[in-house]
Structure 1
Amino acid sequence: MTVKLAIAGASGRMGRMLIEATAATPDAEFVAALDRADSPFIGRDAGELVGTACGVIVGSDLNAAFQKADCLIDFTRPEATLAHLQVARHLKRAMVIGTTGFTAEQKAEIAEAAREIPVVFAPNMSVGVNTVFKLLDVAARILASGYDVEVFEAHHRYKVDAPSGTALRMGEVVAQALGRDLQECAVYGREGVTGERTPETIGFATVRGGDVVGDHTVMFCGLGERVEISHKAGSRMPYATGALRAAVFLQGRNAGLFDMQDVLGLR
């Protein structure tokens, strides 16, 4: 069964990649493109964004888009995503949410909406990154004693939230495997005389610069050895193809909150 897709933020970096990826996905049909009302692309063929006309006109009317689409893929900003979610909930449409930077209260709002509509919500849609999540769970259980955990991530200069949603999820996976609460053990910055590192903490380091798509490394640092599990993205295409896979996964589902571990059958 072919899933009919609407893409939010069509003129953005991920929006363009999603348009391109949809054209190469046989079980997905691109039917609606959304952008801000003040976007210069409103009223133009969305295919212009990737160099090939496709007949889908960029608009700002979410209700009109949902009349055509089964599912909305959203990689925008938290406030916009939540506004889109309320419309999806009202019209009983599915959503794939790749937006990051949500507060705990906003995540709870997504979970509440998922009681009525099907939602895939994941900080990273890449199949490779989600494989890394599984590896981190295994590694953390094996290296549970005598190893300090540090999470490093680097992204392009335009990213507005830090640490990245992927880095935070990596920390959550490790913390859960170790029986810890990330909110209590995370350290997000070190400066000056900090004293010795306490073993129960999980540290985060963030770099922003240039056009780095996304680099993530989790280090398990012991005495005399270090285990590193890394993922480096060369383009945004893995995120787009993963999101499309998530949209196909939601076909035929009435409600529920899922992530990419569910989509990939890694539970």
Structure 2
Amino acid sequence: MKGTQALKNVAVTGAVQPPPAGSTQHQVAVAGASGRMGHMLIEAIRASDDCRLAGALDVASSLAIGNDAAAFLGHASGVPVTADIATGLAHAQVLIDFTRPEGTLAHVQACRERGVKMVIGTTGFTDAQKDQIADAARDIAIVMAPNMSVGVNVTMKLVEMAARALAEGYDIEIIEAHHRHKVDAPSGTALKMGEVIAQALGQSLKDTAVYERHGHTGERKPSTIGFSAIRGGDIVGDHTVLFAGTGERIEITHKAASRSTYAQGSLRAVRFLGGQERGLFDMFDVLGLR
């Protein structure tokens, strides 16, 4: 324990070493390196046989700046946490970003300039911000998905199939629950589920989504997709799509118990990008679910 604590308090000195010539490992940088998701990603990268931590970025106010990115694990990776984007991306082939929209967009620009590919799990983007990312994908390869979990994306495929089969006579509701610290609602995953359903029904989510119900709402309008958001405790992420018909109800649910599922999915996205030069992809592309 004493050794681990000491390691946490030691700043890293010296430059990050570039990968050996001819290395087949994926050189991965992590944004938000000192956050909960950042820690999970770094741990997954260290445990991987084909990925190597090549950079760690965080905001300048983070207490982790200057310390080893893997210090929380009691290991020395030789990669310091830095607020300098150029330093953090110097030896990276791919940046994994689960931060905030403004920070992610700054990273998109930096990666575009340096030819670094991206895995984006950030949510809460406006349509205009999504357009900026799509524009950057003309020059670099990007996997962007509101949820990197393999299980969630398989769930989305099941939801798509159900929506096509239950297109008439069923009311559709999406219920999601997350921890008290989540700042956007509905979750990006819930919105993506709504988009998948709307597309399967030949509709636009903008025209069919219902995000609020209060007071005298009148009868439920057919062909709408309702959303409900729950915030509390340390819930990692629960999503249920309800198809309510006459005499029966179908529920398709995914519950995440750990952020490790997002990390493992992100590494699958990293491996997928190894074969891509440019373009905007999602987890359906990564998992072959088209």
| Kept after mapping to 1: 8 A contact 2:55/2:90 | no
Identity %: 62
The code of the aligned residue for 2:243 comes to F
Provide the TM-score with structure 2 as the length reference.
Answer: 0.91
Deviations 1:13-52 (Å, cap 9, x if unpaired)? 1000001111111111011111111211111111123343
In the superposition, relative to structure 1, how do residues 158 and 51 fare at CA in structure 2: closer, same or farther (>3 Å)? farther
Paired residue for 1:35? 58
**3-state SS of the aligned residue for 2:253?**
strand
Q: Distance in 1 between matches of 2:272 and 2:50?
A: 11
Paired residue for 2:180? 157
Paired residue for 1:209? 232
Matches within 5 A, 1:102-181: 102-181=125-204
Q: Distance in 1 between matches of 2:165 and 2:147?
A: 25
Paired residue for 1:50? 73
| Kept after mapping to 1: 8 A contact 2:148/2:261 | yes
How far the C-alpha of 1:251 sits from its partner, in A, is 1.1
How far the C-alpha of 1:236 sits from its partner, in A, is 0.2
Deviations 1:87-129 (Å, cap 9, x if unpaired)? 0001111000000000001011100000110000001000000
For the pair 1:226 / 2:249, whether they are aligned, the reply is: yes
**3-state SS of the aligned residue for 1:144?**
coil
Q: Distance in 2 between matches of 1:129 and 1:255?
A: 25
Q: Distance in 1 between matches of 2:41 and 2:66?
A: 19
| Kept after mapping to 2: 8 A contact 1:118/1:257 | yes
The code of the aligned residue for 1:18 comes to L
**3-state SS of the aligned residue for 2:252?**
strand
Stretch moving more, 248-257 or 142-151 = 248-257
For the pair 1:243 / 2:266, whether they are aligned, the reply is: yes
Q: Distance in 2 between matches of 1:54 and 1:2?
A: 15
2:41 to 18, 36, 39: 18
**3-state SS of the aligned residue for 1:68?**
coil
| Kept after mapping to 2: 8 A contact 1:19/1:50 | no
Paired residue for 1:265? 288
**3-state SS of the aligned residue for 1:46?**
coil
2:85 to 62, 66, 86: 62
The code of the aligned residue for 2:200 comes to A
Paired residue for 1:94? 117
Q: When the two structures are aligned, how many residues end up with a matched partner?
A: 267
Paired residue for 2:205? 182
In the superposition, relative to structure 1, how do residues 208 and 5 fare at CA in structure 2: closer, same or farther (>3 Å)? same
Q: Distance in 2 between matches of 1:148 and 1:61?
A: 49
Provide the TM-score with structure 1 as the length reference.
Answer: 0.98
How far the C-alpha of 1:200 sits from its partner, in A, is 1.1
Q: Distance in 2 between matches of 1:253 and 1:172?
A: 25
RMSD: 0.8
Gap runs ≥5 in structure 1? none
**3-state SS of the aligned residue for 2:234?**
coil
The code of the aligned residue for 2:32 comes to G
